[in-house]
Amino acid sequence: MDKIQTLQQYIDESQRIVFFGGAGVSTESGIKDFRGVDGLYHQKYKYNPETILSHSFFLSHTDDFFEFYQDKIVQPTLHAKPNAAHYKLAQLEQVGKLTAVVTQNIDGLHQLAGSRNVLELHGTIHRNYCTKCGQQYPLEAVSQAEGIPRCQCGGILKPDVVLYEEPLDETVISKTVQAISQADLLIVGGTSLTVYPAASFLDFYQGNRLVVINLNVTSYDDKAALTINGKIGEVLDQIKL
């Protein structure tokens, strides 16, 4: 039996599927990942993305932070559309087979494709708030700003994304742990599994059907019942409901 058929059988036999994904889920929508071959780490910047997207850098180099954030994250996402992976996951939820999408992505494409229970471990670019008065702002307040986006009160806006050095949201963590520990099938895709604590939540899975779909090898391949080396959109597109 080929690997796609095995995945199809796993999905057919499951009722509480959880999908756990990362930046690789959105590359087929035209948004670059960090660590893939064309990813942002392979480009030349004054600082690497991990430095720029850190809490201390946001405070100390706010203008450089927003230059990178605007060019590399916000603007490419504004025009991005969900791909076959996002749509198939939304459909699996609609037919009652998938309980949650856990994502490290901040682009909002799962919701755009129709997914409802999306646990955004690293927050979202779609929420922003004033660091001085707390006023909430939509993405447009950042995407249309020139330079540092500011509140009417003069305070600097901060995207509600989890920067390096910042803790994850407790509510999102507990929902993630609950969903994964109750899953009968855990599909992991498009993530290097190198960002912690996000990757550590996979350890709460108690079933014996871990599936990893990635373009390259990950540190969880050994634990997987099935590994598929391929593009996640092309793989999930072949799954029938």
Among all residues, which ones are annotated catalytic? Answer: 122
Closest CA to 72 of 159, 157, 155, 130: 159
* Residue 133 touches which member of ligand NAD, Zn ion, none, C-beta under 5-8 Å by kind: Zn ion
* Residue 157 touches which member of Zn ion, ligand NAD, none, C-beta under 5-8 Å by kind: none
- Report which residue type is found at 153: C
Q: Pinpoint the alpha helices (H) of the chain.
A: 3-12, 49-52, 55-60, 62-68, 75-78, 84-94, 109-113, 140-143, 170-182, 232-237
Q: How far apart are CA 87 and CA 11, in angstroms?
A: 16
Tell me if 176 contacts ligand NAD by CB under 6 A.
no
Q: Is-contact 45 32, C-beta < 8 A? A: no
Q: Which residues of 124-140 are buried (b: 16+ CB within 10 A; e: fewer)?
A: bbbbbbbeeeeeebebe
> Among 11, 19, 28, 141, which residue sits at the site for ligand NAD (rule: CB under 6 A)?
28
Tell me if 159 contacts ligand NAD by CB under 6 A.
no
> Which positions from 30 through 49 interact with ligand NAD, judged by CB under 6 A?
31, 33-36, 39
> Among 88, 110, 122, 126, which residue sits at the site for ligand NAD (rule: CB under 6 A)?
122
Token look-up 């330079």 returns 147
The single-letter DSSP state of residue 37 is T
* Residue 35 touches which member of Zn ion, ligand NAD, none, C-beta under 5-8 Å by kind: ligand NAD
Least separation in angstroms between CB 123 and ligand NAD: 8
Least separation in angstroms between CB 142 and Zn ion: 14
Least separation in angstroms between CB 154 and ligand NAD: 29
> Which positions from 193 through 232 interact with ligand NAD, judged by CB under 6 A?
194-195, 213-216, 231-232
Structural tokens at position 220:
């969880």
CA atoms within 13 A on the CB side of 198: 23
The residues, any chain, with a CB within 8 Å of residue 216's CB and separated by 6 or more, are 36, 229
Q: How far apart are CA 129 and CA 113, in angstroms?
A: 25
Which is closer to Zn ion, CB of 151 or CB of 226?
151
Stretch that binds ligand NAD, among 6-14, 61-69, 144-152, 184-192 (CB under 6 A): 184-192
> Which positions from 58 through 117 interact with ligand NAD, judged by CB under 6 A?
104-107
Q: What are phi and psi of 93, to 5 degrees?
A: -70, -45
Which is closer to ligand NAD, CB of 126 or CB of 209?
126
Give contact residues for ligand NAD (rule: CB under 6 A). 22-24, 26-28, 31, 33-36, 39, 104-107, 122, 189-192, 194-195, 213-216, 231-232
